[in-house]
Amino acid sequence: MTDKTADYNFTEIEKFWQKKWDDDRTFHAETSSPSPKYYILDMFPYPSGAGLHIGHPEGYTASDILARYKWANGFNVLHPMGWDAFGLPAEQYAVKTGTHPAATTSANIENFRKQIKSVGFAIDWQREINTTDPSYFKWTQWIFLQLFKMGLAYVDEKPVWWCPKLGTVLANEEVIDGKSEVGKFPVERRKLRQWVLRITAYADRLIKGLGSLDWPDSTKRLQTNWIGRSEGAEVDFEVADSWAKGQKLRVFTTRPDTLYGATYMVVAPEHPIVDKLVSDRQKDAVAAYRKEIASKSDLDRTDLAKEKTGVFTGAHAINPVNGKLIPIWVADYVLMSYGTGAIMAVPAHDDRDYEFAKRFDLPVIPVIEKKDSEGNPLPLPFCSQGTMINSEKFSGMDSGDAKRAIVKMLEDKKIGKSSVNYKLRDWLFSRQRYWGEPFPILWVSEDAYKAASKSAVWNGKLPAEPVSYKDESGKILFALPLPENQLPLKLPEIENYRPSGTGESPLARASGWLNVKINVSTGEVLESADSRACGADWVEARRETNTMPQWAGSCWYYLRYCDPSNDSAPIGAEAEAYWGYPDFYIGGAEHAVLHLLYARFWHKVLHDCGVLSGDEPFKRLFHQGIILGELEFTGYKKDGKWIGADKSSEAGAEAVKLSESEVEKSGAAYVLKCDKTVTVEARSYKMSKSRGNVVNPDDIISKYGADSLRLYEMFLGPLEDQKPWNTNGIEGVYRFLKKIWREYVGKDGNLSEKISDGVSDDPSLLKALNETVKKVTSDIETLRFNTAISQMMIFLSALQKAERVSKASAEKFIKLLAPFAPHIAEELWARLGNVSSVSKAPWPKPEESNADDEPVKMAVQVNGKLRGELTAAKSATKDEILEAAKSLKNVAAFIGGKTVVREICVPGKIVNIVVK
């Protein structure tokens, strides 16, 4: 313990115990432990230059409470921390200042580690990891090679989001409303050679796997929608016109039951078949339309979505079910990237087709009928199920049955088949940046690739289909994986971190690193200029200049914590067998689709290639809600109407005068006790630098201590809710801690005289303590920390009122407090005479009371309205309780002169007497 000061000197206490936990490695988890394991994972932070945000300690405190609670329950707990340290900010800083991103990163990590330690988390710092450490990204690269080998990584020249300002491409997920997620810069479409991961091959498994997971429903739904599986059919339509005889137009539809209602077809402007379809007469119009669309960014295309556009090709298709001729149009509301890039349009039963048909005066034929609750037919268009009409032999059928019947007919006639489509696209995996993991790939000629494929070095390391592309000079280059013994492939030192602007990363400027020779029999790599690289086996090779996106390192970090220094595998078999995967994973909901989907994908891949035994990484997931800034004044309302938007508003001048003194006095804008008809409106916003409402955890810790910060963040409200910060509110938990201190520590600094061995506690104190043990235990299990803290506050009031307390009870309470406020708990635990850490002391068990004569309070209602209250023994019979209830003065008054029709008595809860 610290020196026996009489005051609650939180700064000294917290420093002392943080150092002791560090020195003693109190929270180090051994893989060889005989105890049951519990693995608690936080989403690791990006160590930004801005330092710890007030939101970080929220999730970390929650997981820390759980970790400490599990330690106290005899578990061997893995609660690690690490750094997701590749990323754009450090690189942008490098572009500006020339500082190496590694230097920025390591300084930021230092700062983050210091800040996180100052909150007093029970973290196993022996297992700290850093995604930018070569011993870590060696395995990120190794995993990429597994993906490559399995044919799940390929290159593709395709339109991608290019951000000129950032000089890089971005993933779909990183583009929000036509702007980059980072920096909010405009983006455009560009065709570039990119690495892509075949996540779509896992689409079904990624949906199915969700079923067994203990995740928030909303997150499961988000992922399911993101993958966007839809079942339907592919149908071939023959083109009727002479100039396009024999052409077939294949469409995807989820509603084959509406086939008889198809009155026209639409192909995407980019669809290659358009050239073949277009008639001479429509040639110019179609060309003009396609040009117009091509010049538009996707943002414009979406913006124009209000009014549908399109143009007739001049061609017609034959509806395969009824032989009718229907016109084929080109329109940008059909996307080339989904389905087949062509649709059959059924305006009667699709909103978009209906809108288009109305605009261009195309026929609308209803083929399904449905009536509302009053028996009136639903107006067109409606997209639900119903009874088939206008559909020849299918008329009269239920549309769901017709769907199956029509698909079967199409399959029999071989003009269609059932089919599944996904919204999910393959994962664009390369970035034109410096500060990321380099791809362990060399580009070589076809001959070199063939030679290498015969060598034992690459035996079983190459994909079934070689990955290749044609460079600007027309030469075809093949992707040859770097032999595993040459990992990690480190980044070269360069002077200029600016993107090359041509679509290549700054790595393209590191010519010594870039251009190498590789020995196709031994796999050795040397710089091009190296004189040792001579002989027939040595061939020219160029390294891949792209780097991996930031997601790569975070896709598997949870595995590395289990075995952080293993240099022969990403995770060893023993570590995997013992730790398995996180029992509990907590982090923000903003990662609901990206990180959490990518990590699941990699996990399944690693399972498939035999590295892992399990198929899903995160069995139990929880999202903490974000902490918003303090409530801010937004304006005044009078009789429900806005009378002033801000303090200076003239319209609200009178109201401002009325309330300003109150506002001044309380120092908070949202207090109103003025004119009753005037309300002050306030709301809270996300914390941001520009708004100036950022709360720095360091300031809170120096003013109130880490224990207060932890307690307050947990007391703020339910963990999963968004909630506003309120610096005033922290006074409450700070007072709570000071009160505890005063109950335990006397004025002389010794243990309070109130606490002594050998006294027996007052029954009411014992009861309060027992209730607190129960409530705190169950609330930790269910992560309801706010009510657990309330309960401890209730116990403290009981303790303050008691004249004496036994040492045993005093210790019990400290054990309950320890996960929440570990520093003060350790200090008081030590002052109570204990030598080892309170964090390892066994968790208190509630004592079940058997006393039948224990009095319980019950409410008494007459006709459902509360009329009185009574106290009865726990063992009292219903009759006894009812009699007591009826004899209550107020109850008697309400039932007097009336007939009792029913009596409800729930012992221990409530009595309700129904009278007439």
Partner RNA sequence: GCUCGGGUGAUGGAAUGGUAGACAUAGCGGACUUAAAAUCCGCUGGCUUAACGGCCGUACGGGUUCGAGUCCCGUCCCGAGUACCA
Is the bond into 381 cis (omega within 30 degrees of 0)?
Answer: yes
- CA 309 – CA 326 distance, rounded (Å): 18
Q: Which is nearer to RNA, 21 or 260 (CB)?
A: 260
Give, in order, the Cα–Cα distances in Å from 379 to each of 307, 352, 370, 737.
21, 15, 9, 66
Q: Tokens 């705190």 identify what position?
A: 776
- Nearest to RNA of 620, 784 (CB atom): 784
CB nearer to RNA: pick between 505 and 772: 772
For residue 417, state whether it binds RNA (rule: CB under 7 A): no
* Member of 786, 807, 886, 907 binding RNA (CB under 7 A): 786
Q: Which one of residues 335, 409, 494, 658 is an interface residue with RNA (CB under 7 A)?
A: 335
Using alpha carbons, select from 338, 88, 298 the residue that is nearest to residue 177: 298
Residue 818 corresponds to which tokens in the numbers above?
């320890």
Q: Which stretch binds RNA (CB under 7 A): 252-260, 461-469, 488-496, 839-847?
A: 252-260
Chosen residue from 9, 254, 486, 521 binding RNA by CB under 7 A: 254
Tokens representing 253? 């539809």
Least distance between RNA and beta carbon 147 (Å): 24
Candidates 70-78, 403-411, 651-659, 727-735: pick the segment binding RNA (CB under 7 A).
727-735
Query: At 76, which helix (H) or strand (E)?
Result: strand 76-78
Say whether residue 165 binds RNA (CB under 7 A). no
Closest distance to RNA from the beta carbon of 292 (Å): 12
* CB-based contacts of 755-758 (< 8 A; 24+ apart in sequence): 755/804, 755/805, 755/806, 755/807, 755/810, 755/832, 756/804, 756/806, 756/807, 757/806, 757/807, 758/806
- Is residue 716 at the binding interface for RNA, with CB under 7 A as the rule? yes
Closest distance between RNA and the C-beta of residue 478, in Å? 32
Residues 679 and 671: their CA atoms lie apart, in Å, by: 9
Peptide linkage before 327 cis (omega within 30 of 0): no
Which residue in the set 159, 588, 717, 907 belongs to the binding site for RNA (CB under 7 A)?
A: 717
Looking at residues 109 to 138 of the shown chain, list those that interact with RNA (rule: CB under 7 A).
none
Distance between CA 338 and CA 346 in Å, rounded? Answer: 18
Q: Are 758 and 661 in contact (CB under 8 A)?
A: no
Token pair of 402 as six digits: 């017709």
State the Cα–Cα distance between residues 308 and 333, nearest whole angstrom: 7
> 170 to 199, contacts with RNA by CB under 7 A?
176
Per CB under 7 A, the list member of 50, 294, 325, 906 interacting with RNA is 906
Give whichever of 25 and 902 is closer to RNA, judged by the CB atom. 902
Span near RNA by CB under 7 A; candidates 65-73, 93-101, 215-223, 554-562: 215-223
**What span, in angstroms and rounded, lies between the C-alpha atoms of 9 and 200?**
57
Binding residue for RNA (CB under 7 A) from 138, 290, 308, 603? 308
| CA-based R_g, the chain, Å | 35
Cβ proximity to RNA, 33 vs 797, nearer residue: 797
The answer to whether 900 contacts RNA (rule: CB under 7 A) is no
- In angstroms, what is the minimal distance from the CB of 395 to RNA? 21
268 forms part of the interface with RNA (CB under 7 A): yes
Selected from 78, 631, 674, 884, the binder of RNA by CB under 7 A is 631
Of residues 750, 856, 719, the one with CA closest to residue 62: 719
206/617 Cα distance (integer angstroms): 12
Q: Which of 135, 387, 722, 834 contacts RNA by CB under 7 A? A: 722
Residue 25 burial (CB count, 10 A): 12
Kindly indicate which of the ranges 499-507, 632-640, 732-740, 844-852 contains the residues binding RNA, using the contact rule CB under 7 A.
732-740
Q: Is residue 659 a contact point for RNA (CB under 7 A)?
A: no
Which residue is it, tokens 């509603």?
A: 255
Q: Is 521 in the site for RNA (CB under 7 A)?
A: no
Q: Residues 448-467 vs RNA: string with x where CB under 7 A?
A: --------------------
What whole-number distance in Å separates Cα of residue 629 and Cα of residue 341?
46
In the window 746-785, what residues touch RNA (CB under 7 A)?
Answer: 784
| Residue numbers 7-26 binding RNA by CB under 7 A | none
294 binds RNA (CB under 7 A): no
Which residue type sits at 332? D
Give the bridge partners for 196, in sequence order. Answer: 154, 428
* Alpha carbon distances (Å) from 570 to 142, 192, 399, 556, 557: 8, 32, 53, 9, 9
Q: Interface with RNA includes 161 (CB under 7 A)?
A: no
Residue entry with tokens 């009792």: 900
Number of residues that bind RNA (CB under 7 A): 87
- How far apart are the C-alpha atoms of 769 and 746, rounded to whole Å? 22
x/- binding map, residues 588-627, to RNA, per CB under 7 A? -x---x----------------------------------
Q: How many CB atoms lie within 10 A of CB 91?
A: 25
Question: Is residue 350 involved in binding RNA (CB under 7 A)?
Answer: yes
Interacting stretch for RNA, rule CB under 7 A, among 141-149, 220-228, 564-572, 827-835? Answer: 220-228
Least CB distance to RNA at residue 217 (A)? 7
Nearer to RNA, 653 or 910 (CB): 910
400 binds RNA (CB under 7 A): no
Span from 153-161, 234-242, 543-551, 720-728 in contact with RNA (CB under 7 A): 720-728
Residue 614, sorted as left (phi over 0), alpha (psi -120 to 50) or beta, turns out to be: beta
Q: Helix 203-210 to helix 594-608 angle, to the nearest 10 degrees? A: 110
Piece of 55-63, 100-108, 302-310, 575-583 that binds RNA (CB under 7 A): 302-310
332 counts as binding RNA under rule CB under 7 A: yes
| Binding window for RNA (CB under 7 A); candidates: 15-23, 105-113, 250-258, 438-446 | 250-258
Which of 445, 528, 790, 834 touches RNA (CB under 7 A)? Answer: 790
Nearer to RNA, 287 or 668 (CB): 668
Minimum gap (Å) between residue 174 Cβ and RNA: 11
Query: Strand, helix or coil at 293?
Result: helix
How many CB atoms are located within 10 Å of the residue 5 CB?
13
Instruction: Annotate 248-259 with DSSP letters as a single string.
Output: EEEEEES-GGGG
Contact between 475 and RNA per CB under 7 A: no
Inter-axis angle of helices 706-715 and 56-72, nearest 10: 100
Asked if residue 800 binds RNA (CB under 7 A), the reply is yes
Can you list the positions of beta strands (E) in 147-220? Answer: 153-163, 168-170, 175-176, 179-180, 188-197
Binding RNA (rule: CB under 7 A), the pick from 867, 882, 888, 895 is 867
Q: Burial, 915: exposed, middle or buried (Cβ in 10 Å; 0-12, 13-18, 19+)?
A: middle
Distance in Å, CB of 229 to RNA, minimum: 8
Q: Work out whether 343 is an interface residue with RNA (CB under 7 A).
A: yes
Residue 50 CB, nearest approach to RNA (Å): 20
Residue with tokens 């009078």: 638
Choose which of 702, 890, 898, 900 interacts with RNA (CB under 7 A): 890
Q: How far is the CB of 902 from RNA (least distance, A)?
A: 5
576 binds RNA (CB under 7 A): no
Place of tokens 């009095």: 855
Per-residue b or e along 280-307, where b marks 16 or more CB atoms closer than 10 Å to that residue's CB:
eebeebbeebbeebeeeeebeeeeeeee
- The smaller minimum CB distance to RNA, of residues 352 and 542, is found at 352
Residue among 463 and 717 whose Cβ is closer to RNA: 717
Token pair in block for residue 70: 């599990």
Structure tokens at 7: 């005051």
**Interface segment toward RNA; rule CB under 7 A; list 33-41, 516-524, 736-744, 826-834:** 736-744
Distance between terminal CA atoms of the chain?
Answer: 69
- The nearer residue to RNA, 125 or 226, going by C-beta atoms, is 226
Please report, as residue ranges, which positions from 672 to 691 form the binding site for RNA (by CB under 7 A): 672-673, 682
